[in-house]
Structure 1
Amino acid sequence: MKKSTKDKLLDAALEVMAERGYRGATTREIASRAGVCELTLFRHFGTKENLFRALLQKYSFTPKLIEILSASSDKPLKDVLKRIGTELYKTMQRKKPVMRVVLSEVVLRPEPVAFVLKEMIYQNISELERFLKSLKKQGLLKDVKLEVIARSFLGSIFSFFHTEEIVLGKSLSKKKIEDFIENLTEIFLKGVLNEGPEKKK
């Protein structure tokens, strides 16, 4: 299947930013790598910041998270968290080149990059927090700060991925990922579930 011009530009942006970082990547080089003129890039995205935003959105976990949560209102929290954790890790593992670009830019923190990253991170936290609030209203969760729970759960998975796959250069097996997610989920369940539901599950 033939790639669209937009997809060619996004692929080229990933290549160039992986080599030179956000600040070092020029729209001229990205356009050239995609086989189009720079004006075509601006017609599709307007600015380099918008191009970077589109690149992150293409590989974003948020649509998958929303899909999981939308179909999980009647499922045990343990199963929901395990699926979120597994899918998030697998997404980052599959998109490791994107993650390398993102993580290298976090250190340098040019303002456009920082703003886009912050926006996407908070969106994921907000979606999980909203789901947990619905469970709390049903009396299933303790009176704890759910934003902290959502942030800590997603952050723990991200930190584990960063350490194992980026810093140490590993590519973990499915079993090792599942073992980590299983143990992490158990820790969180003990902290948030009310005694009744916890015993039941």
Structure 2
Amino acid sequence: MSDRRTSNRQRLIQVAVDLFMTQGVAETTTRQIAEQAGVNEVTLFRHFGNKHGLLLAVMQDKEALSRLGMALGQQSTQMGSASQAIKDYANVHLQALEQIQEFVRSLIGEAGHYPDENRRALGRGLLQANRYTAQYLATIMEHEQLQTCLPTEKLASLLNSMLLGYAVLEFTSEFNNLWPSRESFIEALVELFMYGAIAQPPTASTPPTAPPPAAPSNAPTKRPSSVNLTHPSEKP
């Protein structure tokens, strides 16, 4: 009996992910989920209580999070330059968000109506995504022997926040005048990270400026010349 319950529960989660991805959370009903999972609606309520409880289970399920693109950053270890690696990551991230844009719209539009537990679960999912991204950035920095101006965890959070923000604008507005295209946004994002967050090594053509040499400790100290403080009307 327990195996059957586990099977029903996992099947409901899998179907919920499929429907959330294609039509969003708000437009998905518990009856739709139950019918496609091959169980009655009472079984769904017994496992999860309501749709918000099912959404919470989705946010806590590792396989579901992976399908929803929350595990981005676990990409190919073969990479070229740092700028190209960040560009590739941004492209893959936005493409993954595009595949679940109905789910993204629902999360943004309905988040205020979710229970606190759901919002905390969403925060934990985003935190885990940032950890994957931080590992990816750390691999880039080590591969290219570069130094970052901020910890990789903070850079990962900034990078994912900017990508999510752009995705929300792209998915929710018909005309986005901020950027001519997604490619132009990614190019600007890469330039910002390469020249604002990553310390570039000095090149042969522009050697680092050396500080002026310090005076020897035994060098005589030059005394200031004496100043005549005698008033002009006074005679020496």
Q: Indicate whether the TM-score tops 0.5.
A: yes
Cα drift, residue 107 of structure 1: 2.8
The separation in 2 between residues aligned to 1:198 and 1:154, in whole angstroms, is 30
Identity among equivalent pairs (%): 20
The amino acid across from 1:57 in the alignment is L
Match of residue 38 from structure 1:
41
SS at match of 1:17: coil
2:137 corresponds, among 122, 126, 132, to 132
The separation in 1 between residues aligned to 2:203 and 2:196, in whole angstroms, is 10
1:82 corresponds, among 83, 87, 90, to 87
Cα drift, residue 186 of structure 1: 0.7
Evaluate the alpha carbon distance shift between residue 110 and residue 135 of structure 1 in structure 2; reply closer, same or farther with a 3 A threshold: same
1:154 corresponds, among 150, 160, 179, to 160
Cα drift, residue 91 of structure 1: 1.3
Match of residue 218 from structure 2:
none
Evaluate the alpha carbon distance shift between residue 51 and residue 190 of structure 1 in structure 2; reply closer, same or farther with a 3 A threshold: closer
Evaluate the alpha carbon distance shift between residue 142 and residue 191 of structure 1 in structure 2; reply closer, same or farther with a 3 A threshold: same
Match of residue 27 from structure 2:
19
Kindly name which structure, 1 or 2, has the bigger radius of gyration based on alpha carbons. Answer: 2
The answer on whether the counterparts of 1:190 and 1:198 sit within 8 Å (CA) in structure 2 is no
Match of residue 176 from structure 1:
181
1:91 corresponds, among 96, 101, 108, to 96
The answer on whether the counterparts of 2:86 and 2:190 sit within 8 Å (CA) in structure 1 is yes
Equivalent pairs counted in the alignment come to: 186
Cα drift, residue 35 of structure 1: 4.8
Match of residue 114 from structure 1:
119
The answer on whether the counterparts of 2:70 and 2:128 sit within 8 Å (CA) in structure 1 is yes
The separation in 2 between residues aligned to 1:181 and 1:198, in whole angstroms, is 26
Normalising by structure 1, we get a TM-score of 0.71
Cα drift, residue 36 of structure 1: 2.1
Structure 1: state its 5+ residue gaps.
Answer: none
Cα drift, residue 189 of structure 1: 0.7
The amino acid across from 2:125 in the alignment is M
The amino acid across from 1:146 in the alignment is T
Match of residue 66 from structure 1:
74
The amino acid across from 1:158 in the alignment is L
Normalising by structure 2, we get a TM-score of 0.62
The answer on whether the counterparts of 1:9 and 1:41 sit within 8 Å (CA) in structure 2 is no
The answer on whether the counterparts of 1:165 and 1:171 sit within 8 Å (CA) in structure 2 is no
**How big is the alpha-carbon RMSD for the aligned residues of Structure 1 and Structure 2?**
3.7
Comparing 50-59 with 105-114, greater Cα deviation is found at 50-59
